Amino acid sequence: MPTAEAASRGGVAARPYLEGLLNDHDAARSALTGSNFVKRSTVAVVYVCFERQQLVRAALSALFRSEGLQELDVFISQDGGSNYTIDLPAQAVKFNLVYLRHPVNLCPGQHHYLVKSFVFDIMGYESLIVVEEDNIVHPDAIKVLRGLLDLTVNDTQIGLVSVNDFDNHLLINTTRFGSTALRVAVDLGHLWVFGVHASRYHAVHSDLRDYFNLIIGKDYPNIDQPPLRDEVAALQAAKGFPPGMPLSQDAFFVHSLQKAGYTRRLTTMVRLFEPVGWSGLHFREDSMHFYQYFGRSMFSGRVWEEPREACVTEEERELLAAECRERLHKLYQKHLGRDADEGALDAVVKRLLSGEMNTVELVHKMVASEEHQQRHLSPSS
C-alpha cells in the first residue's frame, strides 16, 4: 500500500475533488472562478503548472508579454500537493485572469482532463490554448495559435494546432515562412503549447472520459508499472490504438482525435517557445542531453503577418524545398567542408515537409561525427 504522502502526491486522493467538480458544472464554475468572474472571450488560455518556482515565474512573465493576450480569458491551473503559492507578476492585473490552485495532487493525466473539461464543459468556451509549465513562450505564440484556430475551425482534417517542438530556422527562410504552419500527422510532436476547438474535444470526449475513469484515484506517476500500465494498454487496444504507443493522456487524446477522423494538425514552421523542461514532467535527464536534442533558442523575429498554412501550392512547396537544400549545403560546408550528398538532401527535405525534421539534432550529429573531428584535426583545415 502507498504511504499517505505518496498517495497524495500520486493522484490517489484526487477522486472526491474531481468527482465533485465534474458531476455538477454549475457548482464547479462557482467554486473555481468565484462569483465575480465574467467571461470576455470565446477563447481560454490555460497555463498548466505545479511547483518549480523559478521556472513558473519565468514562464508566466513571458506569457504575460504575449501579443493579444488581453483579448482572451486567462487561467493558471496549478496542481495540488505543493506548498508553493504563485506570486503573480505585477502585469497580471491587466488580464481577465483566474488562478486555480487545486487542493489535491491530480498528476498530469487527471489534471489535463480537468483542464479540458473545465474549459469546454464547465465554462463553455469555444477554443482552448494550453501552455505547459516548462515553456517560455514567444510574444507571438498565443496570437499565432489563435489565428490558426480561426483558420481551421471548419477544417474536417485538423484536430489541433500547435507550436513546433523543433527549431528548424537554419533550414528555412523565416522572413517568408515565419507566420506559416505545416499540415502534419496529428500524433506528431508533443502538446507543450497547443490549441484545440470545442468541437474536437466533444468528438472525442467519450474516449477521454474512458481514460480518465480508468486512471482516476490511481498511482499515475507509476503508470509505466503494473497494474496501471497493463490496464491502460488494454484500453488502448480496445480503442484500436497502435500497440506500444505512450501511455499518457496526451497520447490518448491525439489518437482519439485520429480515430474520430481528425488525422492532421497544423504546427508552426518556426518554434515560438524556448523549451526548459529537462528536469520536469516530460524528461528526467541532464540538461546537456536535453539541449543537444531540442536546443535552446526560439524564433528571434516577430510574426507580423496573419498565420497561414504553408505549402498549399506546389510552387511554394518547391520553393521551400529549394531553400532547404541550399541551406543544408551551407551547413555541410560549415561543419564538414563539403556539399551535402543527394541522399541527405532528399531525406532532410522530406522530413522538413512532413514536420519530422530536427535541425538541432542534425547539427549535433555533424559536429560529433568522425568526419568533422578529422577535418578539425587536419593541418589544412
Domain ranges of the chain: 4-308, 311-377
Task: Give the helix ranges, DSSP H, for 91-197.
Answer: 107-117, 141-152, 174-177
pLDDT bin (cut points 50, 70, 90) of residue 5 is very low
pTM of the model: 0.95
pLDDT tens digits for range 74-89: 999 999 988 899 999 8
Q: State CA 40 to chain mean position distance.
A: 25
**What is the CATH T-level fold of the domain 4-308, as seen in this structure?**
Spore Coat Polysaccharide Biosynthesis Protein SpsA; Chain A (3.90.550)
Q: What is the pLDDT of residues 178-227, one digit of tens each?
A: 999 999 999 999 999 999 999 999 999 999 999 999 999 999 999 999 99
pLDDT at position 109: 94
Q: Which residues pair with 44 in a beta bridge?
A: 73, 128
Looking at residues 293-304, what average pLDDT do you find?
94
Give the mean model confidence (pLDDT) for residues 310-335.
98
* pLDDT at residue 11 greater than cutoff 80: no
What local confidence, expressed as pLDDT, does residue 13 receive? 86
